[in-house]
Structure 1
Amino acid sequence: MPAFECFKTVEARPNDAHMLRFWCQYWIIVAMVIAFESLISWVPMYGEIKLAFFVYLWYPKTKGSDVVYDTFLRPIVMQYEPNIEQRLLHLRAKSGQLLSFYVKNCADKGTAFFMDVLHYVVSDKAEGSNLERTDCCYAYS
């Protein structure tokens, strides 16, 4: 429902800044909940609480995303914004090196796995051909 409402807002009313802000706030809060989900998913009835919270966020009469964003999320992010920005810049600078490392590592492991499979297939066929020839009374010298 929220994703479709966001789509309709963007497509039908591209100049409606209030609704775009509402849906952006909603998705920011959802992203934060999902990011911290592993820390709080042990709470009894977590799934039901999360569902009720998400409904509260997008339900038109409560406008929960406005309340949560303005009361909790915005002040915290504003306080740590310079630190977050600095860490993101550092992460972007290192991401190329990290991606290169993982691609090379995956390629090396993939090549090794392929070679192991190839050796297995070749050795299996060679053993199978020896059995067939000995069964047919052919002998190797």
Structure 2
Amino acid sequence: MAVFGSNIPSEVGLRLLLCPLGSNIVLRTASCSVGVVLPVFSTFKALESRDQNEQQRWLLYWAAYGSFSIAEVFTDKFLSWFPLYYHMKLAFLVWLQLPSVDGARKLYMNHLRPFLLRHQARLDQIVGFFYSEMTKFVSANQGGLQFAKTLLIKILGSAAQVVGGVFRPLQGKPNGATRSIGGPTGREEQASSEIEGITTPQGLNSESEHDE
């Protein structure tokens, strides 16, 4: 039984790594962390340090990653069914970033740069048309966009208030609980003062009669 129990963690780990259906969530999370989260922080450090070599390195990475993401939009539905697809995707993202391999520079210089140079004029027309149409759309729907922006700000403010009310620490509860247990509340104090006000004249009258 001890030997059987010791083999369980290793068996679960092997299934998690080798079974694509069982480990897709883990691998997608790892791919997002390696492909986006770490490069964003590294890009931030490169910009703040003003290191031109690091800035160029991460510019090349984002160019390679953006091209890969565009290709993945059209191929992910088909390639995701292949065994170990997400394992290979994670390995590819690591290959793009490793300084010792410098995969992003190789991908850019060997494939992406020649393609963009060959189709630069056509791509300039497409990008110019896209930006002009986007400017027209924003100008025509400026009122609706402003309304949507105001509505979104109100919704986010209400959501922040609700979350703050739920998670706000209850600092006044212990004092309130102590007062309710150890001493009278405001109504009880008021009632006791009214009773004392009623009984005091009777006590004074009895003392005056006794003196007479």
Band the TM-score falls in, shorter-chain normalisation: 0.5 to 0.7
Tell me the equivalent position of 1:132.
none
The code of the aligned residue for 1:22 comes to R
Asked if residue 62 in structure 1 is aligned to residue 101 in structure 2, the reply is: yes
Tell me the equivalent position of 2:48.
11
CA pair 81-75 structure 1, distance change in 2 beyond 3 A: same
TM-score, length of structure 2 as denominator length = 0.44
Tell me the equivalent position of 2:69.
34
State the aligned residue count: 103
Q: Which is greater in Rg?
A: 2
Name which of 105, 119, 122 aligns with 1:80: 119
Give runs of aligned pairs for residues 1-141 of structure 1, distance below 5 A. Answer: 1-12=38-49, 14=50, 16-41=51-76, 42-43=78-79, 44=82, 45-99=84-138, 100=140
Could you tell me how far 1:96 is from its partner in structure 2?
3.1
Q: Deviations over 1:18-51 (max 9, x none)?
A: 2211100101111111122122212113322221
Q: Deviations over 1:104-138 (max 9, x none)?
A: 6xx9xxxxxxxxxxxxxxxxxxxxxxxxxxxxxxx
The code of the aligned residue for 2:66 comes to A
Matched residue SS, 2:68: helix
Could you tell me how far 1:73 is from its partner in structure 2?
0.5
Could you tell me which runs of 5 or more consecutive residues in structure 1 were left unpaired when the two chains were aligned: 108-141
The code of the aligned residue for 2:64 comes to I
Matched residue SS, 1:60: coil
The code of the aligned residue for 2:61 comes to Y
Distance 1:10 1:96 in 2: 29
The code of the aligned residue for 2:70 comes to A
Instruction: Name segments (4+ residues, structure 1) moved above 4 Å.
Output: none
Q: What's the Cα RMSD here? A: 2.1
